[in-house]
């Protein structure tokens, strides 16, 4: 894993939970020595028929260690939050 980057996209319908989850991810990864880019807010998707919104944030983890990846996999995430990983 060393020398690579991981792109995480966190999305959900509740804005507070999305931001809280992103903060927990950043804290966890930084404690283990990997560098993290600042969160980038992606456009909010609005569903006008059901009047719902989906909030999205993305970050890049630079030079992740195997310990950082293991910690991310063990992190407790609320059920209403989706996380997409890309290497």
Q: List residues bridging with 40 in a β-sheet.
A: 58
Residue 2 reports pLDDT greater than 90: no
| pTM: predicted TM-score of the whole model, two decimal places | 0.80
Q: What is the pLDDT of residues 29-83, one digit of tens each?
A: 999 888 998 888 888 877 777 778 888 999 999 988 889 889 989 999 999 999 9
The pLDDT-based confidence of 21 (bands split at 50, 70, 90) is very high
Phi-psi region of 72 (alpha: psi -120 to 50; beta: other; left: phi over 0): alpha
Q: Which domains does the chain have, with CATH numbers?
A: 5-86 (3.30.70.600)
Tokens in use for 15? 């804005």
Q: What is the pLDDT of residue 3?
A: 62
Residue 1 reports pLDDT greater than 70: no
Within 10 angstroms of residue 51's Cβ, the number of other Cβ atoms is 7
Strands 35-36 and 5-12: unpaired
Helix axes 66-74, 15-31, angle to 10 degrees: 150
């Amino acid at each position: 894993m060393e020398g690579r980057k991981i792109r995480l996209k966190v999305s959900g319908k509740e804005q507070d939970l999305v931001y809280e989850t992103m903060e927990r991810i950043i804290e966890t990864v930084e404690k283990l020595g990997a560098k993290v880019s600042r969160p980038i807010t992606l456009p909010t998707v609005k569903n006008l028929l059901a009047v719902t919104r989906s909030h999205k944030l993305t970050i890049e983890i630079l030079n992740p260690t195997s310990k950082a990846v293991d910690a991310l996999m063990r992190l407790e995430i609320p059920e209403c939050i989706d996380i997409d990983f890309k290497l």
